[in-house]
Amino acid sequence: MAGTGFDLFSDRSVVAMRVDGELKDLATTLTGTEQVEPITIDSEDGLAILRHSAAHVLAQAVQRINPEARLGIGPPIQDGFYYDFQIDEPLTPETLKAISKEMERIQRAGQRFVRRVVSDDEARAELADEPFKLELIGLKGKAAQGRDGESVEVGAGELTMYDNVDPTTGETVWTDLCRGPHLPSTRMIGNGWALERIAGAYWRGDQRNPQLQRVYGTAWPSKDELRAHQTRLAEAAKRDHRKLGRELDLFSFPEEIGSGLSVWHPRGGIIRHEMESHARARHLAAGYSVVYTPHISKADLFATSGHLATYAEGMWPPLHMDEERDAITGEVTKPGVDYYLKPMNCPMHILIYQERQRSYRDLPLRLSENGTVYRNELSGALHGLTRVRGFTQDDAHLFVTPEQLEDEVAKVIEFVLSLLRDFGLSDFELELSMKDDEKAKWIGSDEYWESSTNALRRVALASGLGLTEVPGEAAFYGPKIDLKTKDALGRTWQLSTVQVDPNLPERFGLEYTAADGSKQRPIMIHRALMGSIERFFAILLEHYAGAFPVWLAPVQVVGVPVADHHVPYLERVFQELERAGIRAELDTSGERMQKKIRNASLAKVPYVLIAGDADEAAGTVSFRLRDGSQDNGVPIAEAVARIRTAIDRKSQV
C-alpha cells in the first residue's frame, strides 16, 4: 500500500523505519513494494536517531544565542552526542545552562524535521556562511571513511538538508546539512536529555586544522533512563582509573618524562608483575615460545612491512643515526640511517621466523612477547593508561599452514577466554570483521577470503558466544575476530583481537617446506590478548574499583595490633604469612587501632588481621574483611591456609 511510514506505524515508539535495508524518515513516501521494518526509539538505531536529532537542536540553540557561531559536525556517539562550534568567546558552564534553556524551548515547540534534497551548488549557496560545511560538501563520497563523524553530514549519494519547520506557521526556522534520518519532531526528544561538558576538538580530528569548541550531551527515551545513565556516570567517576591510580599509589605520568608516558609505582608494579607472570606461565603451558625484540629499528624494516607507507603519522619521528663526517672538511663520509621506535612488534617476529629454514614440522610456530611499542598519539587524545604514547602489548604471532588455520584460531579463542576468566571477567561477545563487495578495497583471492572468513565464523559459532558479523570492517588483507567484554558497570570494552594475515608473509617472502618438498607460504595470525597491558590494567582497576582479587592485591594482609605490646606476637604470625608467599604488612605506626583499620580499608586491602590479649593467649587472630564483617578467634595455621587458598583460587573477598 502506498503512503508514508506514518500510515504504516501508529505506535509512538516507532521513530523511523528501515526500507529495503536503508534507514529512512517516517515521512518517506512508499510505493507499497518495499520491505519495511519499524525502528523503535529504544533500539540501537532509534537511540542514534534520537541523539542525532538532539544534536541538531543543540546547534540551533547555540546559533539562536550566538548567530555568529559557525557549525562543525554533530554526530551521535555511544550514550550521547556532540556538536562542534567555532565561536570567538569560550563556552562556560553558565553558557551551557543558557543553551539548555533554549533547547528546552525548541524541544517543546515541536518543530518538524523535514528532509530536502539539494544539488552541490544549491548547498553551497545556502551554506555560504558555513566554511566547515562547505568543506564537507567537497568531501562527498569520501566522508563515509572519515574519522570524525563526517558521514552523518554527507555520504556517497545525494546531498540533503534538514529543515526545522515551525508546526504552526510552516516557516523554516533553521537548517543543517545532514544525511538523516531524524525524529518526526523535536517534541519526540522528550525530557531524557542533558548537556554534559565542554571540550576542545580539532576540526576533523586533525591538529593542523582550527580548534573548535565541542559540546557533549546525552539523550535517552525517558527521564528515568537519563537518571540511570547519570548514576552510572557518577559511579564511573568514582572508579576512574586515573583517580584510583593516585589514591592507591599505583602509577603516575611525570611531566618531566612527557605526556602519555607512565611510570609504575611499587604497588602498581606488583599488580602488573602478577598479571604478566600469570599470563606468561599460561602461554608457556599452551605451547608459546617467549621472545624479546628491541624497541627501535632501521627504517627499512618498516618500509618492507608497509608501516611507513600506511602508518607513518602514527609513528614517532625518526632518529638519524650512524652518520660519519670528515673531521677536517665536515663532509659526509658515511651516510646516516633513520631509526624508528617500533609501533608494532610483528615485523621483528617475522625476522625471527626468517632466521632459519622452516619445515611444515615446525608449524604452528607461536611467538609471544610483552613488547613495548610507541605511537605518536595526539595530546588531546591521551587518556590515563587507556590511551598512551608508550605501551606494552601482550603480543603473539602464530605462523601456520592453511590447513592449520581453523584449529589454531579455535585454540587461540579458547585460550583467550580461559585467561580472561582468570582475571575475573565473564561477559563476552565476538565480532567478526569481514570484507564487503567493494572489490577495490581488498587484496587476495575470493577463495582465500571465503575460506578464512568461514574458518573464523565456525570457530566463533562453536564458542557459544554471541556473534555479530560486520561486513566491510576487515583489514584490507584478511578477516579478524574481536572479543569484547562488559565490566561491572555494564560498559563494553574491546580486548582481544585475532587477525588473519597472509600479507606480511608475502611482503617478507616467508616460506616453509611442505611435506611434498615444495615451498609454501605460511599464514600469520596476529593475536593481542589484553590489547595492551596498560589499558587492560586500567579496565581491571575500574572493574574492581581498586579492590582487586586477593592474588592481584599489592598488599594482601595488613596486621593491626590492639596495643603496642601485641606487635611481637603479630610479627611471629607474619613470618608464617611470608613463608606462605603472602604479601603482608604490619602497621606499627602511632595511629589508633580504628584509624589503622580505616587506612587499610581505604587502601582496598583484602584482609586485616587483628590481635589482642585473647588472640595471643589462644594462638589466634581476628579477620576483618573489606565489607566490614569480622571473624574472631581463627587459629594461625587456619588463617594462613584460608588466605593462601583465596590466592590460589584467584578469589574475590
Tell which residue, 213, 212, 219, 195, has the closest CA to residue 98: 195
**Structure confidence by residue, pLDDT tens digits, 544-586:** 999 999 999 999 999 999 999 999 999 999 999 999 999 999 9
**Structure confidence by residue, pLDDT tens digits, 294-350:** 999 999 999 999 888 888 888 999 999 988 888 888 888 899 999 999 999 999 999
| Residue 209, C-beta contacts closer than 8 angstroms, at least 6 positions apart | 202, 203
Look at residue 239 in the predicted model and tell me its pLDDT: 94
**Structure confidence by residue, pLDDT tens digits, 260-290:** 999 999 999 999 999 999 999 999 999 999 9
Are residue 586 and residue 518 in the same domain, yes or no? no
Mean pLDDT across the chain, nearest whole number? Answer: 93
Average pLDDT of 592-612?
95
Look at residue 440 in the predicted model and tell me its pLDDT: 78
Domain's final residue, options 474, 508, 543: 543
Torsion of CA 44, 48, 53, 58, to 10 degrees: 130
Average pLDDT of 491-496?
91
| pLDDT surpassing 80 at residue 80 | yes
The answer to whether position 14 is within a domain reads: no
**Structure confidence by residue, pLDDT tens digits, 509-529:** 999 999 999 999 999 999 998
Residue whose grid cell is 608508550: 390
Is the backbone peptide bond immediately before 471 cis, with ω within 30 degrees of 0?
A: no
User: What percent of the chain is modeled with pLDDT above 70?
Assistant: 97
Which segment of 59-68, 88-97, 131-140, 165-174 scores lowest on mean pLDDT?
131-140
* Adjacent-strand bridge partners of 562: none
**Structure confidence by residue, pLDDT tens digits, 24-58:** 999 999 998 999 999 999 999 999 999 999 999 99
- Identify the DSSP state of 113: E
> Please, which pLDDT band fits residue 149 given cuts at 50, 70 and 90?
low
Dmax of the chain from CA atoms? 93
**Structure confidence by residue, pLDDT tens digits, 431-441:** 999 988 887 77
**Residue 200, CA distances (Å) to 72, 152, 210, 240, 483 in order:** 12, 20, 10, 21, 32
CATH number of the domain within which 401 lies: 3.30.930.10
* Cβ-contact 592, 561 below 8 angstroms: no
**Structure confidence by residue, pLDDT tens digits, 383-395:** 999 999 999 999 9
Are residue 282 and residue 147 in the same domain, yes or no? no
**Structure confidence by residue, pLDDT tens digits, 638-651:** 999 999 999 999 99
Coil, strand or helix at 58: helix
Look at residue 443 in the predicted model and tell me its pLDDT: 79
Provide the whole-model pTM: 0.85
* Cβ-contact 160, 180 below 8 angstroms: yes
Look at residue 148 in the predicted model and tell me its pLDDT: 54
* Adjacent-strand bridge partners of 14: 40
Burial of residue 21 (CB within 10 Å: 0-12, 13-18, 19+) is exposed
Task: Name the grid cell of 346.
Answer: 610483528
The answer to whether position 29 is within a domain reads: no
How far is residue 423 CA from its own chain's centroid? 18
| pLDDT surpassing 80 at residue 154 | no
Task: Name the grid cell of 493.
Answer: 570494552
Are residue 467 and residue 596 in the same domain, yes or no? no
Domain's final residue, options 520, 543, 566: 543
Average pLDDT of 470-479?
88
The answer to whether position 248 is within a domain reads: no
Are residue 579 and residue 607 in the same domain, yes or no? yes
Q: How far apart are CA 55 and CA 306, in angstroms?
A: 39
Are residue 525 and residue 391 in the same domain, yes or no? yes
| pLDDT surpassing 60 at residue 603 | yes
Average pLDDT of 411-428?
94
Are residue 534 and residue 586 in the same domain, yes or no? no
Look at residue 144 in the predicted model and tell me its pLDDT: 45
| pLDDT surpassing 70 at residue 123 | yes
* Cβ-contact 239, 247 below 8 angstroms: no
* Cβ-contact 44, 15 below 8 angstroms: no
Look at residue 155 in the predicted model and tell me its pLDDT: 59
Look at residue 143 in the predicted model and tell me its pLDDT: 45
Coil, strand or helix at 247: helix
User: What percent of the chain is modeled with pLDDT above 90?
Assistant: 83
Are residue 372 and residue 469 in the same domain, yes or no? yes
CATH number of the domain within which 201 lies: 3.30.980.10
How far is residue 188 CA from its own chain's centroid? 32
Q: How far apart are CA 396 and CA 571, in angstroms?
A: 44
Q: How far apart are CA 61 and CA 55, in angstroms?
A: 10
Domain's final residue, options 516, 543, 570: 543
Are residue 458 and residue 587 in the same domain, yes or no? no
Look at residue 1 in the predicted model and tell me its pLDDT: 55
| Residue 432, C-beta contacts closer than 8 angstroms, at least 6 positions apart | 453, 456, 457, 460, 467, 468, 469, 470, 479, 480, 481
Look at residue 332 in the predicted model and tell me its pLDDT: 87
Look at residue 117 in the predicted model and tell me its pLDDT: 94
* Cβ-contact 445, 530 below 8 angstroms: no
- Angle (CA) 368-372-377 rounded to 5° is 130
Are residue 537 and residue 567 in the same domain, yes or no? no
Are residue 388 and residue 482 in the same domain, yes or no? yes
The answer to whether position 205 is within a domain reads: yes
Is the backbone peptide bond immediately before 210 cis, with ω within 30 degrees of 0?
A: no
CATH number of the domain within which 640 lies: 3.40.50.800
**Structure confidence by residue, pLDDT tens digits, 352-375:** 999 999 999 999 999 999 999 999
| pLDDT surpassing 50 at residue 635 | yes
**Domain membership of residue 219 as a residue range:** 41-232
Instruction: Report H helices in 325-445.
Output: 346-354, 405-422
> Please, which pLDDT band fits residue 490 given cuts at 50, 70 and 90?
confident
Are residue 422 and residue 444 in the same domain, yes or no? yes
| pLDDT surpassing 50 at residue 9 | yes
The answer to whether position 300 is within a domain reads: no
Tell which residue, 172, 67, 62, 70, has the closest CA to residue 113: 172
The answer to whether position 250 is within a domain reads: no
Q: Which residues are catalytic?
A: 346, 375, 393, 395, 397, 480, 526
Coil, strand or helix at 241: helix
> Please, which pLDDT band fits residue 151 given cuts at 50, 70 and 90?
low
Task: Name the grid cell of 487.
Answer: 565490566
First to last CA, the chain: 62
The answer to whether position 335 is within a domain reads: no
The answer to whether position 310 is within a domain reads: no
Look at residue 2 in the predicted model and tell me its pLDDT: 66
Are residue 363 and residue 276 in the same domain, yes or no? yes
Number of domains in the chain: 3
